[in-house]
Amino acid sequence: MLKIGIIGVGSISSFHIQAIQESAKARLVAFCDINLDRLQTKGSQYGVNQLYTDYNELLANDQIDAVVICTWNDSHVNIATAALKAGKHVFVEKPLSRRITADAIELGKLAESTDKVASVGMVRRYADNARVLKQWIDSGKMGDIYYGKASLMRRLGHPGGWFGQQAISGGGPMVDLGVHLLDIVWYLMGKPKPTTVSANTASYLGDRGHIGYLSYYQAADQLDQPSNVEDFANALIRFENGASFYLETSYTMHTPKDDLLIQMAGSNGGAILEPSLQLVTEENGVILNAEPQIDFPSFHNHAYKRELDGFIDACVEGKPNETPIADGLTVLSILDSIYQSAREKREITL
C-alpha cells in the first residue's frame, strides 16, 4: 500500500485527494499547508491526522512513500527536489516551475538518476478523447501531423490571488491554461523537438473585479496586490520536423463567450479534440466527418483520477511513467521562450 502525503491542500488538491481515497493501492496519510486553518479543515474533512505546516517535516516522515505537490508555482522545483532527495516518489502539479532555471534543470537530472517515480501533472493526456485520438494517430490514420491550433479564451476568468502575481505564478493565462493546450498538442504530435517561438502578450484589463452578474472561478487565497500578469497571449511554435503550432489564451477579453478549440491536421486526416472529439478523413473521393461514440467526447474530470492511478501504478507496479519530469521541462522551455519572445519582440530560437 503506497502511503501518500499531499503538500498544498488548496483547490486543485481535491481532485487528487479523491483519486487517492478511491484507490485500492494507495492510502492518504498526511497533509501539509502553510495556511493552518485550511490545513486543519481539510484534515478533519478527509480524516487525515498527520498535519504539517513545514514540508520538510513531512518529508522526514519515513512512513510516507510518495508526495503530491499542489503548491504555488514558484515552490514546485524546491519541494520536488527535496522530496526526491528524501527518497519519495513525486507527483508535481503543472507547470514544473515559473521559468527554466538552473534548479529546474538540476531537478530534471535528479529525476533521471533516481529509481523513484517523478511525474508532472499533465492531466489532458489522460482524458478519454485524448486517448482515443492518440490511438487514431498511432495507427497512422492521420499520417504526418504538420499543424496544430489551440485556443482557450475566457471573457471573464481571472482567478486573482497568486495566479495574478508574476513572481509566484510565472505568468497569466499562458502559464496557467496554455500549458495544458501546449502539452496535449505537443504530445499528440509525437513530442517533436521545438526550434523557434514567436509570441505576443497583452495586459490591459487586469482582474476586472468591477464586473457584476457573472460568476467565475477564483483562487482560494485572494491577495491585496493588483494583478501584474498578462490578460492575453499568443504564440507560433515551430518544430524540427517542419510542423507548427498556433496557441492563444486569455484570462479576460472583450469577447461574447468563453471558447475552447483544439485542432490538428495531418497528411491523411484531421481531428478536433475540443470542444468535442471529431475525426476527419476521406474515403472513395469523399470527405468524412466522424464523431466517435464515447461517454466523454470532451475533457472530463475523471481524467484526474486516471492521472493519479497512473502515478500510483508506476510507483507500486513499475508501470511506465506517462508524464515524466523531462516532458515538463520541454513544455516549460517553450513557455519560457513565449514570454521571452513577447518581452523582446522577436523570434526566439530554443
- Residue 155: per-residue pLDDT: 95
- Residue 221: per-residue pLDDT: 74
Q: Kindly report the three-state secondary structure assignment for every residue of 96-144.
A: CCCCCCHHHHHHHHHHHHCCCCEEECCHHHHCHHHHHHHHHHHCCCCCC
Residues with Cβ < 8 Å from 268, sequence gap 6 or more?
Answer: 140, 141, 142, 143, 144, 281
- Residue 127: per-residue pLDDT: 98
Residue 146 CA to residue 62 CA, distance in Å, equals 48
- Specify which residues 198 forms β-bridges with: 236
Residue 332 CA to residue 312 CA, distance in Å, equals 24
Q: pTM (2 decimals)? A: 0.95
Mean pLDDT by 10 residues, the chain (350 residues): 97 96 98 97 97 98 98 96 98 94 96 97 98 98 97 94 89 96 98 98 91 85 84 98 98 96 98 98 95 97 97 98 97 97 98
